[in-house]
Structure 1
Amino acid sequence: MLRFSMVFMLLFASAQILAQANGEILKRTKLTSFDDLVDYINTNEVRDSIKLDANRFEYFDKVQVHGITYWSDSLKVNGFLLQPKARGKYPAIIYNRGGSLDFGSLTHGVASIGLGELARIAHEGYVIAASQYRGNGGSEGAEEYGGSDIKDVLNLIPVLESIPNADTTKMGMFGWSRGAMTSFLTITQTDRIKAVVVGGPSTNLIRSIVDRPGLDLWWSEFIPNYSVSKKAILEKRSAVYWAHELPKNIPILMFQGGNDEAVLTDYVLDFAKELTKHKVPYRLVKFEDGSHSLKEHREEVYEALFAWFEKYLN
């Protein structure tokens, strides 16, 4: 009888841990200024240096910004919450960052879309949740680049559900580069997302390693089992191979730069053909002289993004 009770208690404790892993916020730190953000990075992340352009943070003090730590897969994962200061209910957006490891993270200077840009979007009337992903930005766990880190994104849904200002019946998703890959993988696993916006979308990793051989070695260092089943692993992360599995009721807005050297335009055009073939609704906006970050066309990107989410979330 005693042994049975001990087993029951262990099972109960395990169930409690699993329940905690479902997007529960463990820590929340208010960031009211650019200097607060720098202090937060110094406290929570292991970085040799911080190189952030303060000019990208003009909206930072116009919205509420919190650094958060939340449960995901029994790991403590770091991320951020941004929302308007005024009371009310606002549509929710999950943002999926680009890059790998800490390069290109939400708190990295080279990020195409970082916290400064997210503050601009939140100021327009959105509650935004964004993850640094496991193994990055001071989070527990290891980087998998489109593997188990998808759970870190899915677990932002209950994070948003705990925010009184967030209307999670109107939830969109936004991602850049690797974040587009993450977005496509995520919407095959949940029906909660109403519309998607992506920029410089990574859609064909197999072609990427042909055109950029250095990625092959780079990814081999942190994608699990990469050397054992590389083709299958890359296809799993390349939406061009499974466009038919994407929901037919989630409209996708894609931005692409003609001078994008990280994600070639041919990849995106091939992906668009697959979307057309399988009747997945989308719109592709191409800027002929645009780079990967499209910083040359940032206001045009904002305008189209706001119109897209206004149409499909409001």
Structure 2
Amino acid sequence: MRRSSSFVLLAALLLALAGAARAADGDILARTTMAVPADAPYVAEQIIYESDGLRIAGFLSYPKSAPAGPARLPCVIWNRGGNREFGAITPAFFLARAARLASWGYVLFASNYRGAPGSEGREEFGGADVNDVLNGLRVFDQLPFADQARIGMWGHSRGGMMTYLALTRSDRIRAAIVGAGPTDLARWIRERPEMESEVAAELVPQWATQRSKAIAERSALRFVERLPKNVPMLLMHGSADKRVNPRDSMDMAQALFASQRPFRLLIVEGADHTFSERPDDYNLAARDWLDRYVRDRAPLPDLTPHGR
């Protein structure tokens, strides 16, 4: 009888431990190899990872030589734009970007954030979904060929907003790139009222009662002083962008200059929101920035007035 009771207690303990043990944030829960051309020099995978107890869809790529390579590779986390299905990462979109980043020698990870296709949870357009970006950084920790000390972050449009927010909460990013990123949501809404009625009001929690607070929390111009001083930022914007006013990047550059933070501003004349007419300008500038500050770990520039 005593032995039977011991077995019952042991079984109950094991059951309790099993129930208590859940995946940690950033843990890769599933990996599926994606189909790529036979001669492609990279591997691509669709993954599911843990974030705040949610299963989030992500995409991972790396050069074919990476698993057997003697040296760890620099990494980039890509932050998508749009909201919900609009702008969500598709296999075709990711593979095109994977081919480019792999040819540059980088491990690439991208997330579809919570509430987007393939991901659990509810999107908050710059709220708790920023955790999906931060927890995505931990994916690199599980890859033996990824250099966790060399991580860059690249966000476009809404992904730029996510990048600014992530930079205030992580010290793991060596350099950042923001393409056509909104930095003043009040202006964005004035110029595009549908961004409030069709996006913010539907996604941001308590928008009706916390509107001003939510705008401030998502507008990088309001929290420049919380951005790290040791992360160089490349801001790129097309001068003919109809979705996000180019002044958002110009004003941000002014604020970064005034607060003595390292940055570079590239305004591409006549380019639209996605740089469709000038993709080389966009990608070449991004590669130079990543190679300089992430791959090669170049020292920060001297921002004090100097020289002849």
TM-score normalised by structure 2 residue count:
0.86
| Residue in 2 that maps onto 1:230 | 211
Supply the distance in 2 between the matched residues of 1:225 and 1:136 (Cα, whole angstroms).
Answer: 20
Unaligned runs of 5+ in 2: 1-9, 297-308
| Residue in 1 that maps onto 2:35 | 32
| Residue in 2 that maps onto 1:23 | 26
Cα RMSD over matched residues? 2.4
Are 1:286 and 2:267 matched, yes or no?
yes
Matches within 5 A, 1:38-187: 61-87=40-66, 88=69, 89-107=72-90, 114-187=94-167
For the residue of structure 1 that corresponds to 2:40, the secondary structure is: helix
Displacement of 1:173 in angstroms is: 0.4
Q: CA distance change for structure 1 residues 211 and 6 in 2, over 3 Å: closer, same or farther?
A: farther
| Residue in 1 that maps onto 2:195 | 215
CA contact (8 A) 2:236 2:249 kept: no
| Residue in 2 that maps onto 1:37 | none
Query: Which runs of structure 1 show a deviation greater than 4 angstroms over 4 or more consecutive aligned residues?
Result: 5-15
Q: CA distance change for structure 1 residues 14 and 253 in 2, over 3 Å: closer, same or farther?
A: farther
Which residue identity lines up with residue 21 of structure 2 in the other structure?
Q
Supply the distance in 2 between the matched residues of 1:286 and 1:162 (Cα, whole angstroms).
Answer: 37
For the residue of structure 2 that corresponds to 1:69, the secondary structure is: strand
Displacement of 1:62 in angstroms is: 3.2
Q: CA distance change for structure 1 residues 289 and 82 in 2, over 3 Å: closer, same or farther?
A: same
Which residue identity lines up with residue 28 of structure 2 in the other structure?
I
For the residue of structure 1 that corresponds to 2:277, the secondary structure is: helix
For the residue of structure 2 that corresponds to 1:299, the secondary structure is: helix
Supply the distance in 1 between the matched residues of 2:235 and 2:12 (Cα, whole angstroms).
Answer: 52
| Residue in 2 that maps onto 1:296 | 277
Structure 1 residues 217-258: Cα deviation after superposition (integer angstroms, max 9, x where no partner): 112111111111111101101101111110000000011000
Displacement of 1:158 in angstroms is: 1.6
Are 1:277 and 2:277 matched, yes or no?
no
CA contact (8 A) 1:21 1:75 kept: no
Unaligned runs of 5+ in 1: 35-58
Higher Cα Rg, which structure: 2
Q: How high is the sequence identity, in percent, across the aligned residues? A: 37
Which residue identity lines up with residue 81 of structure 2 in the other structure?
G
Q: CA distance change for structure 1 residues 175 and 217 in 2, over 3 Å: closer, same or farther?
A: same
Q: CA distance change for structure 1 residues 203 and 6 in 2, over 3 Å: closer, same or farther?
A: farther
Supply the distance in 1 between the matched residues of 2:262 and 2:35 (Cα, whole angstroms).
Answer: 39
For the residue of structure 2 that corresponds to 1:67, the secondary structure is: strand
CA contact (8 A) 1:32 1:61 kept: no
Are 1:189 and 2:172 matched, yes or no?
no
Q: CA distance change for structure 1 residues 6 and 233 in 2, over 3 Å: closer, same or farther?
A: farther
Task: Tell me the matched-pair count.
Answer: 283
| Residue in 2 that maps onto 1:205 | 185
| Residue in 2 that maps onto 1:39 | none
Which residue identity lines up with residue 240 of structure 1 in the other structure?
L
Supply the distance in 2 between the matched residues of 1:289 and 1:108 (Cα, whole angstroms).
Answer: 29
CA contact (8 A) 1:105 1:114 kept: no
Which residue identity lines up with residue 16 of structure 1 in the other structure?
A
CA contact (8 A) 1:106 1:115 kept: no
Supply the distance in 2 between the matched residues of 1:80 and 1:202 (Cα, whole angstroms).
Answer: 24
Q: CA distance change for structure 1 residues 117 and 264 in 2, over 3 Å: closer, same or farther?
A: same
| Residue in 2 that maps onto 1:40 | none
Supply the distance in 2 between the matched residues of 1:303 and 1:244 (Cα, whole angstroms).
Answer: 29
Displacement of 1:298 in angstroms is: 1.1
Q: CA distance change for structure 1 residues 74 and 211 in 2, over 3 Å: closer, same or farther?
A: same
Supply the distance in 1 between the matched residues of 2:244 and 2:91 (Cα, whole angstroms).
Answer: 20
Q: CA distance change for structure 1 residues 254 and 14 in 2, over 3 Å: closer, same or farther?
A: farther
Supply the distance in 1 between the matched residues of 2:39 and 2:261 (Cα, whole angstroms).
Answer: 36
Q: Which moved more, 1:6-15 or 1:282-291?
A: 6-15
